[in-house]
Structure 1
Amino acid sequence: MARLRTHLAALGVGLSLALTGGPASALERLVLRLPFLETQVTINLSGGQSAEELIQASPDLQDLQLASGGKLMDFLRQVFLTPLPLETKALLAGSTGQPLLEQALHAATQLVELEDFEPDVSGRMLTDALLRSERRGQPNILGFLRELPGEQASIDLSRLVEVANRLKTNLENGVALANSTEAASVTAGMRVPLRSSWSREVVQVSVPHRPQTLRVLILQPASSANGRLVVISHGLWDDPESFEGWGEVLAAHGYTVLMPDHPGSDFNQQKAMLAGAAPPPGPEELRLRPLDVSALLDGVSTGRLLAGAKLNTNAVAVVGHSWGGTTSLQLAGGVPTDSRLKSRCNDLKHPERNISWVLQCSWLSGINQAAVSDPRVKAVVAVSPPLRLLFDGSRLETLPAKVLLISGTRDWVVPSGPEAIAPMRDNKAAQWGHRLVLVQGADHFSLRSFRDEASPARVAPVILGWINEQLEVDGVITFSKGGWGDEQGSLVDVSDRL
């Protein structure tokens, strides 16, 4: 019963995102199909206003109430009768028709079948149903479901198993590769606490391609500056502070580090979106993010930013996480194409499909304007970037920058199999000087590193080693000589095993 209650809770919330359609009679029944138990559970939604009345109207729930020792009642109250957050209406209204919401709803239709209706992935029907439920005095899941069209919706829980198995498969290759490859050696001095030998400043920079200024976190070495510049690009709905630990290691070794907020897809944008004050990030953000970085390089080279710092802007490094990693690949000369987007985005059962495809597929309409490389970028580190659908790898041999790809073996958001190993293997990237490092046990978010952490960031030494080597800077470590591993032996260069 505990497992069943967990499934029911998740599905109750999931329905609020997945069921859409055209105007019709109110939804009367929700059917949960459990083929692995050779049974199904039918909930009669029109049977009452309270948990007690729902149970009374649904024989299957009566059986579950007895089997649960009376505990089902509280569960139903929590799932169906708890008021929806006040921000829900504003979020849906502000997101209706936006590609990112459409892709999320399209993915949700794999799990939900609304009988006799085609799914409307624009989000309009969701918003309308929520407004009607509020007017009827039922701003909760039960009231919301009753305002959806049709008579019956069904969910086949075996499809959840299929999705889970696909995610598991997409991780298995990375786990096997990491376990069978020797880990990188460790330089003891790279794993001791840092001494604060840099300055920290936040500035606002105007840019020609956005109405907003860019908020930029700057770390500058207090002494022994090497005159080289690194830009760190954050991921979707994140901010520079999540990667300040990376920047601290680089600044401690002489690099000046710029860490911009990308205003169209940062943490503040997420807050505005959830409040209904802004739509989700649109496809144009795929082009604007690299332009943010190039604008900062322009500012440094003209002296508008970091005047008098004597920095080499003709050979810089860009480091990015998640969407920031995609940004770094664009700057390196990667040209996004639409061929895989068009052929795979509608294939909900593609064996490589993963959560990051929701974001990647939302970029389709902006793909033709997203080729925005910058020849000043000579070294790139892309950590967990969504890339499989965007880049075909045809230009690897001519990229002006060498790319280090880093991926965690437990990253279920951007899994290593389809998003790192397959592209590197299929395009024979290693023969052109690009490398792939897997981090055993790391997920999508655990490689981030914040300010003043007790020990240096887990992947900071390998980032430093790669940049030292590509920019030909004398340093404590370089990538090819090793020494960028950790005490746990979790960092593994698998490039030559692909």
Structure 2
Amino acid sequence: MTRITSKKTVWQLALRVFSIGLLPVLTANQAFGAERIKFNYGALERSIPISSLEAYAKTGKMDEDLAAYSQYIDKKQLTQLRQTLLTPINLNQVGVSQFLYTPIGERLLETLGKVIQTESRLSGFYAIRAALILAAADSQNFTLLNVLQKFPSSSISINLSQTLEIVNSFQNLANQTQNAVAIINQQAQQKTTTASTLNSVTLRDLGKNGSFRFSKQTIVLNDLTRHRTFPADIYLPIAQTPRSIVIISHGLGSDRTSFAYLAEHLASYGFVVAVPEHPGSNSEQLQALLAGTADKVTNPRELIDRPLDIKYLLDELTRLSKSNPTFRRRLNLDQVGVIGQSFGGYTALALAGAKINLEQLQANCPSLEDTLNVSLLLQCLAVNLPSGSYNLSDARIKAIIAINPVDSSIFGQASLSQIKIPVMIVSGSADTVAPALPEQIQPFIWLTTANKYLALINGGTHFSTIAESANTVVPVPTQVIGSSPALARRYVKALSVPFLETYIAGQSSYLPYLSANYVNDISQQPLPLSLITSLTSEQLKLPFQ
């Protein structure tokens, strides 16, 4: 733990944690509320009246109580504090209540309850939940400030000892991630320098549209064996010969329009693109949760149903290619690739041959409340699956792209090392949902397939590559999406084409595009892009297993 050397350091930490640390966390997870906020470090205690925060938030003026602490944080952080206190939370009481009573919501409350406590310094689990639900009842005034005022205790106690542990853990992860990112960027740059001396071929920008025209139609699939009905959008290029197939799997709470931009782009290069909507983990499921007609963010069964959706879709496309004139002689079912983002990244890896590792999950999930890796909340749902062996791989799939995948515990090294087909992992260095180091960089090291790629978007977040859907239930704040999402999406387009052309369509002429040299050519600020094909734990000096 960090050593506290003076009282001033303690209160400086308290203000900084509150203004730039805890506030964003609480806003993201909808938590906090009362008359005073007390910061405790052992026997030491200081406090701020909530009325002081309210006055500052509404008028921009500090009273004596708040002014005494202003020396510990700069003007930018004070401005952020004011904005955060008054930013509307776009959820209703039913939605907040429903989420906070789900297993994932309760896990988050357990973690927050260690830091945010009642006046008697007991866990704030129930108080936080009550404050959120009460504050959400006033939909016109559902802000963090209102949540503070609804906290069912005369004061809110912030445990700085626990906060320090979280801060230290976060800092350790951040330092390790920065180290890994620096090494990846350096390695990519070295390969660029070498390639530039050997390769004088001019490569075009594959982020621009191809020359194929295409049509789009929606089919509805009904898998009677699973009592599961779901739609899929099919993008059919106009061509004289059967074309390779790419399936895109969306993330949790998204839908089939989230990657329509990528589907259209790949269709313009002659790929048949099929985009299914997974009914138990799409935007409708999230809407049902917030409306009170569902009691889960997603069901553990979705971990099985998602890959089976894609298997069933391929079976249906096979049937249509024989019976439906629109599809006849237009599909090459021997050349299939899958692209997935987040939960869809998990889906792609499962189809590629990674098996759910229940033994590892049972070891990792009991200590889940101490993790900074939010994606483990989703992965650990698998421990509730019925025991048995699930065959989720599909031999028809010849290569996959996993964008921001969640995979570290549900698969781990033992399962990921079994994948034999080409894999590209796309990672964002600023991903706070599925952190880059444990969820993408470390899993990349574990892969043993002969053809593997790690594309790192420096500054990219978990949401950078997702296009906003018209069906979005809770809009993602701009600061969470990060800067230049259009650039991140352009990278996905520019990398998907050569990877799929090479490993799905068998066009070796595209292999030069899967190089650090090409990536350096298309890389731009503020999201510089790097690409590597190998990495070891020894290079990162981390104790990976």
Distance in 2 (CA, whole Å) between partners of 1:211 and 1:297 is 18
Matched, 1:445 2:463: yes
How do residues 174-253 of structure 1 correspond to structure 2 at under 5 angstroms? 174-181=181-188, 182-183=191-192, 187-188=203-204, 190-195=206-211, 197-208=213-224, 213-253=229-269
Match of 1:286 in 2: 303
Q: Match for 1:101 among 102, 105, 109? A: 105
Cα 1:439–1:292, aligned 2, differ >3 Å: closer, same or farther? same
Give, in angstroms, the shift of residue 383 of structure 1.
1.6
Cα 1:397–1:218, aligned 2, differ >3 Å: closer, same or farther? same
Q: Quick one: which amino acid aligns to residue 283 of structure 2?
A: F
Distance in 2 (CA, whole Å) between partners of 1:66 and 1:407 is 38
Q: Quick one: which amino acid aligns to residue 411 of structure 1?
A: D
Q: Match for 2:276 among 260, 271, 283? A: 260
1:411 is paired with a residue of what secondary structure?
A: coil
> Which structure has more RCO (C-alpha within 8 Å, separation ≥ 6)?
1
Deviations along 1:214-233, one digit per CA (max 9) or x if unpaired, are 23222111125443211011
Matched, 1:358 2:362: no
Distance in 2 (CA, whole Å) between partners of 1:152 and 1:398 is 50
Matched, 1:487 2:503: no
Matched, 1:297 2:314: yes
Match of 1:90 in 2: 94
Cα 1:300–1:60, aligned 2, differ >3 Å: closer, same or farther? same
Contact between 1:384 and 1:407, CA under 8 Å: does it hold in 2? yes
Give, in angstroms, the shift of residue 241 of structure 1.
2.8
Query: TM-score, normalising length from structure 2?
Result: 0.71
Distance in 1 (CA, whole Å) between partners of 2:333 and 2:411 is 26
Q: RMSD of the alignment, in Å?
A: 4.8
Distance in 2 (CA, whole Å) between partners of 1:323 and 1:111 is 29
Cα 1:316–1:61, aligned 2, differ >3 Å: closer, same or farther? same
Deviations along 1:79-112, one digit per CA (max 9) or x if unpaired, are 77x6975834211332244222123323434543
Cα 1:309–1:171, aligned 2, differ >3 Å: closer, same or farther? farther
Q: Quick one: which amino acid aligns to residue 464 of structure 1?
A: V
Task: Could you tell me which runs of 5 or more consecutive residues in structure 1 were left unpaired when the two chains were aligned.
Answer: 21-25, 53-57
Q: Match for 2:37 among 30, 33, 36? A: 30
Give, in angstroms, the shift of residue 202 of structure 1.
3.0
Q: Quick one: which amino acid aligns to residue 361 of structure 1?
A: C
Range that drifts further, 259-268 or 353-362: 353-362
2:440 is paired with a residue of what secondary structure?
A: helix
Q: Match for 2:429 among 397, 406, 409? A: 409
Distance in 2 (CA, whole Å) between partners of 1:201 and 1:390 is 35
Cα 1:195–1:44, aligned 2, differ >3 Å: closer, same or farther? same
Contact between 1:89 and 1:127, CA under 8 Å: does it hold in 2? no
Q: Match for 1:378 among 398, 416, 439? A: 398
1:324 is paired with a residue of what secondary structure?
A: helix
Give, in angstroms, the shift of residue 385 of structure 1.
0.5
Deviations along 1:166-191, one digit per CA (max 9) or x if unpaired, are 23432430332122222488721525
Match of 2:542 in 1: none
Task: Could you tell me which runs of 5 or more consecutive residues in structure 2 were left unpaired when the two chains were aligned.
Answer: 1-11, 57-62, 470-485, 524-528, 538-545
How do residues 458-477 of structure 1 correspond to structure 2 at under 5 angstroms? 458-471=491-504, 473-474=506-507, 476-477=509-510
Question: Matched residue pairs, number?
Answer: 478
Query: TM-score, normalising length from structure 1?
Result: 0.76
Give, in angstroms, the shift of residue 407 of structure 1.
1.9
1:457 is paired with a residue of what secondary structure?
A: helix
Contact between 2:209 and 2:265, CA under 8 Å: does it hold in 1? no
Cα 1:161–1:271, aligned 2, differ >3 Å: closer, same or farther? farther
Q: Match for 2:452 among 426, 435, 438? A: 435
Structure number with the higher helix fraction is: 2
1:445 is paired with a residue of what secondary structure?
A: coil
Give, in angstroms, the shift of residue 290 of structure 1.
1.1
Deviations along 1:118-174, one digit per CA (max 9) or x if unpaired, are 454xxx765555566789999775675555368652143544465255234324303
How do residues 290-329 of structure 1 correspond to structure 2 at under 5 angstroms? 290-303=307-320, 307-329=327-349
Contact between 2:428 and 2:458, CA under 8 Å: does it hold in 1? yes
2:97 is paired with a residue of what secondary structure?
A: helix
